[in-house]
Amino acid sequence: MSTSEEQIAELAQVVETLHQQITFLNQQVNNQANDLQAALQANQQAHQANQHVAFALNPIRASTNVIDMTSKDGMKLYKLGLEKVHSLCFDGKPENVNFFRATVHKKALDCGWYDTWGNIFNIVDTSVTPNKTYDIVYQTQEVPLTAIEDFARTNIVNQQNR
């Protein structure tokens, strides 16, 4: 074998070795991509499950926990939830919107509707990635109608506890 043939054979062996290494690395990258995709999907499903909030027509039903109506605290929470937001009725005038929002927000904090019993004011728009969460007290006009409809279908319509 001449020197050039030996060099070609040596280069062919190097190329074959590099090809095998590239194939192996591509498999590793594909495996990692599949693992990441599966983890991302699991994370999104868990995130969506945590975004669903309780909706109720009265405060006693907003909790997934049992409120002991025979206890003083249970009755206090129920009565607090049924009280007016404020002694002044909201007249719908634009100059009174911020006052109304602030009083609803305060009532929600007092009743634990933002944390203890689940955030009942969040609507999650799952049609966008990443999902966007709207606070219906402060972002009323920003919430897409489709997000409200999807939320209602998922969390309210045909739910046994509603």
DSSP the chain: --HHHHHHHHHHHHHHHHHHHHHHHHHHHHHHHHHHHHHHHHHHHHHHHHH-----SSGGGG-SSPP-TTSHHHHHHHHHHHS-S-SSPP---GGGHHHHHHHHHHHHHHHTTTTTT--TTEEEETTSSS-EEEETTT-GGGS-HHHHHHHHHHHTTT-TT-
pTM, rounded to two decimals: 0.46
Residue scoring higher pLDDT (1 or 17): 17
pLDDT digits (tens, 9 = 90+) for 91-141: 888 888 888 888 888 888 877 777 655 677 888 888 888 989 888 888 888
pLDDT digits (tens, 9 = 90+) for 10-69: 888 888 888 888 877 777 777 777 777 776 676 666 556 555 444 455 544 455 555 677
